[in-house]
Amino acid sequence: MGKNNQEYEDFLLLTKGAEAELVEKKSRFIATVRPVSSEEEAIAFIDEMKKKYYDARHNCSAFIIGSNAQMTRSSDDGEPSGTAGKPMLEVLLGSGIRNIAAVVTRYFGGTLLGTGGLVRAYSGVLKEALESCETARQHFGVKCKIKTDYNAVGKIQYLIAGKEIQTEDTVYAENVEMTVIAPIEEYDRLCKEIVEATSARAEIEEIERLYYVQPIE
């Protein structure tokens, strides 16, 4: 059935970004978080923030692209190495959210914060912004079409009702066609149970394998 299920880990997808602000020893830190789907989108967002806050001393950034964080980037934008972009990226990675970009803008207040102070400020304001973000859990699954006669549809609906399976569409015509998405770890067992419950009268056609939004309980 393809790859091992362990390769498909759940992740959080950012659906709505947010902002937060922190003042530390007269330095003003503004965190802006936004969903992005590619490196190009992330770079465009960072450039947009640099133009918006053109008069700021620093616009530090970090972003993650891909369900398994296949691409990560960070920038200190003139701050001492490792005091801004890297800790920001660590906050993003630790959140479990993917396809996300963040820019923390700093207006210098005249007082040096030191390495530890900078790390705390950049990390802290980003964590505040993340608390206001909206996310959706993505789970890997199989979309399939189940074709059956009217005598067996009740048995199939009963099987589906007891599992974490989403019904996308049901068409009642000469026969019944149900389009469902099943978690990857449930798919093989579901197929077997449907075949057994309907005495092999139901046809199951795999449409695609995909990440889909799974409700957070």
Question: For 17-28, how does the pLDDT look when each residue is reduced to its tens digit (9 = 90+)?
Answer: 999 999 999 999
Check whether 171 has a pLDDT greater than 90. yes
Check whether 52 has a pLDDT greater than 80. yes
Higher-pLDDT residue of 31, 109: 31
Question: For 59-79, how does the pLDDT look when each residue is reduced to its tens digit (9 = 90+)?
Answer: 999 999 988 889 999 999 999
pLDDT at residue number 7: 64
How many other C-beta atoms lie within 10 A of the C-beta of residue 4?
8
Report how many domains make up the chain.
2
Contact between 139 and 104 under an 8 Å Cβ cutoff? The reply is: no
Q: Do 110 and 25 reside in the same domain of the chain?
A: yes
Cα–Cα distance measured from residue 161 to residue 170, given in angstroms and rounded to the nearest whole number: 14
Listed residues 132, 162, 189: the one ending a domain: 132
Phi, psi of 45 (to 5 degrees): -65, -45
Q: Do 175 and 200 reside in the same domain of the chain?
A: yes
The domain that holds 159 is classified in CATH as 3.30.70.240
pLDDT at residue number 81: 93
Question: For 98-144, how does the pLDDT look when each residue is reduced to its tens digit (9 = 90+)?
Answer: 999 999 999 998 888 888 999 999 999 999 999 999 998 888 999 99
Q: Do 57 and 83 reside in the same domain of the chain?
A: yes
Check whether 35 has a pLDDT greater than 80. yes
pLDDT at residue number 90: 96
Question: What are the start-end ranges of the H helices in 53-149?
Answer: 85-95, 114-131
pLDDT at residue number 79: 93
Cα–Cα distance measured from residue 4 to residue 145, given in angstroms and rounded to the nearest whole number: 23
Q: Do 86 and 186 reside in the same domain of the chain?
A: no
| % of residues, the chain, pLDDT over 70 | 95
Residue 12: inside a domain: no
Residue type for 212, please?
Answer: Y
pLDDT at residue number 6: 46
pLDDT at residue number 215: 62
This prediction has a pTM of 0.75
Cα–Cα distance measured from residue 154 to residue 132, given in angstroms and rounded to the nearest whole number: 43
Encoded tokens for 186: 């449930």
Encoded tokens for 188: 């093989």
Residue 6: inside a domain: no
Q: Do 83 and 182 reside in the same domain of the chain?
A: no
Cα 31–chain centre separation: 19
* pLDDT band at residue 5 under the 50/70/90 scheme: very low
For the chain, state the CA radius of gyration: 24
Listed residues 132, 152, 169: the one ending a domain: 132
Give me the count of residues in the chain. Answer: 217
Domain range for 171 is: 139-213
Residue 11: inside a domain: no
Contacts of 72 (CB under 8 A, 6+ apart): 62, 63, 64, 65, 89, 93
pLDDT at residue number 145: 96
Q: Do 155 and 209 reside in the same domain of the chain?
A: yes
Residue 146: inside a domain: yes
Cα–Cα distance measured from residue 51 to residue 47, given in angstroms and rounded to the nearest whole number: 6
Check whether 84 has a pLDDT greater than 90. yes
Check whether 8 has a pLDDT greater than 90. no
pLDDT at residue number 216: 56
Residue 152: inside a domain: yes
Q: Do 118 and 179 reside in the same domain of the chain?
A: no
Listed residues 105, 132, 159: the one ending a domain: 132
Please state the rounded mean pLDDT for residues 173-200: 92
Residue 41: inside a domain: yes
